[in-house]
């Protein structure tokens, strides 16, 4: 019975994640990224300095998780806690979709 419950939950979570990804608005994510995130992470998601992680090509789910964790305080970083606190659920889905849609590029610092 336990196994059955776990697989139902996993299935439901999968459906929810797929729904979220489909609903994300890339254009809105791009706009937010260029207005806010670009200063540190680069408009193309490839930051110019090693202090700021590259976001281009990162998994959508990873980006969503990171932003939610900064917002809740589960992941601690004063800069990103401040940034994430200004993002709604919808913004998080949109920017995550945008950055994950970009091509990851390597840069030498």
Question: What backbone phi and psi angles, to 5 degrees, belong to 31?
Answer: -60, -45
Segment near ligand HEC (CB under 6 A), from 3-11, 17-25, 78-86, 101-109? 78-86
Say whether residue 26 binds ligand HEC (CB under 6 A). Answer: no
Give SS3 for 50. coil
CA 17 to chain centre: 13
Are 52 and 41 a contacting pair, CB within 8 Å? yes
Binding mask 38-67 for ligand HEC (x = CB under 6 A): -xxx---------xxx-x-------x--xx
- The single-letter DSSP state of residue 73 is T
How big is the CA angle at 99 (ends 43 and 52), to the nearest 5 degrees? Answer: 60
Whose Cβ is closer to ligand HEC: residue 7's or residue 61's?
61
Say whether residue 28 binds ligand HEC (CB under 6 A). Answer: no
Residues near ligand HEC (CB under 6 A): 32, 36-37, 39-41, 51-53, 55, 63, 66-67, 77, 79-80, 83, 87, 95
């Amino acid at each position: 019975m336990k196994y059955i419950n776990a697989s139902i939950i996993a299935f439901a979570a999968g459906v929810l994640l797929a729904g979220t990804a489909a609903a994300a608005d890339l254009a809105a994510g791009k706009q937010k990224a260029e207005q806010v995130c670009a200063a540190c992470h680069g408009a193309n998601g490839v930051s110019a300095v090693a202090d700021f992680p590259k976001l281009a090509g990162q998994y959508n789910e990873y980006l969503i998780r990171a932003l939610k964790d900064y917002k809740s305080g589960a992941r601690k970083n004063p800069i990103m806690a401040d940034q994430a606190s200004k993002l709604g659920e919808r913004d998080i889905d949109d920017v995550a979709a945008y950055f994950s849609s970009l091509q990851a590029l390597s840069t030498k610092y």
